[in-house]
Structure 1
Amino acid sequence: MKNVLSEYIDNYIKQKHYRLINSILLFRDGEPVLKKYYNNFNENSRNNIKSIWKSILSICTGICLDKGYIKNLDEPVSNYLSEFAANNHPYHKLITIRHLLTMSSGIYWNGGIHYHCPMLEQLWRSDNCLEHLADTAMANVPGTKFVYKEWDVILLSGVISRAANMNTYEFCKSYLYEPLGITRGEWARLPGGIDYSIDRNFDIEAQSDLSAGDLAKIGFLLLNKGNGILSESYINQAVLPSTNTPEYGYLFWLFEGGFACRGYGGQEINVVPGKNIVYVIQATPTSRSKSYGDVFKVCLDLMDNGNML
């Protein structure tokens, strides 16, 4: 019975002392199997999504491609970002949109410790984020090495904005959020006008906040092959392993049987197409936050046991 699953998850979370978990939603065949809220959260409560924003940006890139705002994923970013056509570095014109989607631009990155990143702080203090990134050293030939970093998604946001001739958030709002019935989640704006998911104070409560139900809508969009908002062909490409890492696609994390949107501190949308499952978890991120992938695994194990449902 559903109540058995609910009680089991409650007990599991208590035993693990997972006090920061706020919301858990689990759907199978389009029907809710589990809805749990903690810490005074409810279906209307919003939680910062952190790097789930990266996967949302991938969806926006696919919509750009579908609508012809960009021609193909192997276009050089310099076609849209004049800052990377200025011959600052011979590798700049080799960077493609696909490299940004697969975190392989080759631009140097040092992420810092516990989400305190001096390189991001320097970017916020710059006069223009794209000019700043165009002056940042190259560490690798584009396309040769996966490095999880903020630079590539910031550049991707710039490409979407320049290609569609509107702010990236406005593009997302018009072509993704509004069709899905999502009404919040406005993003910060970097110096130079490029939209980004983190404000300059790195405030964990600010900017890209969505409810667990909003994240489930994004999960169902992906499970249901785009629902006319995004092409099935793009989704199929986006969840294939990239050249430089088998665990990453186009800003989606991959696992056996499915794929995920993940954000720092325990934000996840997990999609398991073969089992017709969408799973969402949200937690309050802190400087030493953790992930809660074990909760998802427990849910799957219990669902595979018919006596638990």
Structure 2
Amino acid sequence: MDQKRIRELEQKISTDYGNTTGVAVLKEGKLVYEKYFKGCTRESQVHVYSVTKSIISILIGIAVDRGYIQSIDQKVLDFFPGYIVRKRENTIQNITVKDMLTMTAPYKYRFFAPYVKYFTSEDWVKFSLDLLGGQGKIGTFRYAPLIGPDIFSGILVKATGQSVFEFADENLFSPLEIHVEGDLMFKSKEDQLAFNESIDTSGWVRDSLGIHTAGWGLTLSPMDMAKIGQLYLNKGIWNGKRIVSEKWVEESTREHSRWKKHDLSYGYLWWVNEDGYAAMGDGGNIIYVNTKDKIVVSSSALFVPKVRDRIDLIKTYIEPIFR
């Protein structure tokens, strides 16, 4: 490695990306760089925010591969036969799993999501279902950060008969030797704020009914995320074992919708770019996969508002060193 450029990279991270807790780089499946910041080590896990969505995408793919979910063209309400639809509410009845995977399902809230009511509600899946649909048009990109994705967790529980964490641990985490402690539940707002600032908490957040979050709430390390990226670069194979189908990997990481306002392409809960795809979470948490150069970059970070673009950091300062 070019040690001069490595020093420049680490100085750049310390100066302009100071909330970073760790970075790992794989080239053609081999670890070529690993560095930790802010007192963290390889074992440190942090809340990776919306990277959780891409993990959920993999779990949906595994569930489809194994026949738990017949097709992503199934209607969302097929999985919730007991859900009572309000009178004159027709949109929700036509929304499919695919609509939600591509963030083209409408929601009743517009500019101000009811986060306080969401966090204090007992059943996050039902809360999300109650906001799904409305007057919006199916097929128009509508990014749902926190409220909405939990419906995927409800679908996985209904389809597999397991908790999301149990299904993930058996079919994804354990095969990749990713260790996540288990359930996390907040008793107060202070608990949640402490979780967001922690570098030594491991687990997956759930609601009071035991349903794990799908849009946020998972802790991972940079090496955990790098393994996920390498799994996808390997088209779903890990150490010679098929974890998720090649078809799902390819389908989930190609453009199905576009956030026109920001000129961003979206797959199935993965962001798509000209060189490959990425899982991205608040604060600068990222799994970046360059399919052309066979490079995986993962970075973990603690939340701060208005962080600098990690894609720019990767393309300008990291890829040129290892390409």
Normalising to structure 2: TM-score of the pair? Answer: 0.83
Give the C-alpha shift of residue 153 in structure 1: 1.4
Amino acid aligned to 1:241 = E
Contact 1:167 1:195 in 2 (8 A): yes
Provide the alpha-carbon RMSD of the alignment: 2.2
Size of the aligned set, in residue pairs, is: 291
* Aligned residue in 1 for 2:266: 248
Counterparts of 1:143 and 1:37, CA distance in 2: 41
Contact 1:104 1:144 in 2 (8 A): yes
Amino acid aligned to 2:205 = A
- Give the 3 Å change call, closer, same or farther, for CA 6–119 of structure 1 in structure 2: same
Contact 1:24 1:282 in 2 (8 A): yes
**Deviation larger for 150-159 or 127-136:** 127-136
2:301 maps to 1:301: no
Amino acid aligned to 2:18 = R
Counterparts of 2:218 and 2:155, CA distance in 1: 20
Normalising to structure 1: TM-score of the pair? Answer: 0.86
Give the C-alpha shift of residue 94 in structure 1: 0.6
Give the C-alpha shift of residue 244 in structure 1: 4.3
Contact 2:104 2:140 in 1 (8 A): yes
Give the C-alpha shift of residue 11 in structure 1: 2.7
SS at match of 1:180: coil
Counterparts of 1:20 and 1:243, CA distance in 2: 31
1:282-293 equivalent positions in 2, closer than 5 A? 282-293=300-311
Q: Which of 220, 227, 235 is matched with 2:249 structurally? A: 235
- Give the 3 Å change call, closer, same or farther, for CA 111–8 of structure 1 in structure 2: farther
Identity of paired residues, percent?
26
Give the C-alpha shift of residue 37 in structure 1: 1.3
Contact 2:275 2:290 in 1 (8 A): yes
1:30-69 equivalent positions in 2, closer than 5 A? 30-69=29-68
Amino acid aligned to 2:231 = L
Contact 2:20 2:302 in 1 (8 A): yes
Contact 2:128 2:150 in 1 (8 A): no
Deviation string 1:284-305 (CA, Å, 9 cap, x unpaired) is: 113454442222012123445x
1:173-192 equivalent positions in 2, closer than 5 A? 173-184=169-180, 185-192=202-209
- Give the 3 Å change call, closer, same or farther, for CA 178–120 of structure 1 in structure 2: same
2:271 maps to 1:272: no
SS at match of 2:65: helix
Give the C-alpha shift of residue 35 in structure 1: 1.5
Counterparts of 2:254 and 2:161, CA distance in 1: 29
Counterparts of 2:207 and 2:105, CA distance in 1: 20
After TM superposition, the runs of 4+ consecutive aligned structure 1 residues lying more than 2 A away are 1-5, 11-14, 82-88, 108-112, 124-137, 141-152, 190-194, 243-246, 286-294, 301-304
Give the C-alpha shift of residue 67 in structure 1: 0.4
**Deviation larger for 292-301 or 125-134:** 125-134
* Aligned residue in 1 for 2:188: none
Counterparts of 2:308 and 2:266, CA distance in 1: 20
Deviation string 1:214-247 (CA, Å, 9 cap, x unpaired) is: 1111111111011100000001000111134451
SS at match of 1:265: helix
- Give the 3 Å change call, closer, same or farther, for CA 261–145 of structure 1 in structure 2: closer
Amino acid aligned to 1:134 = L
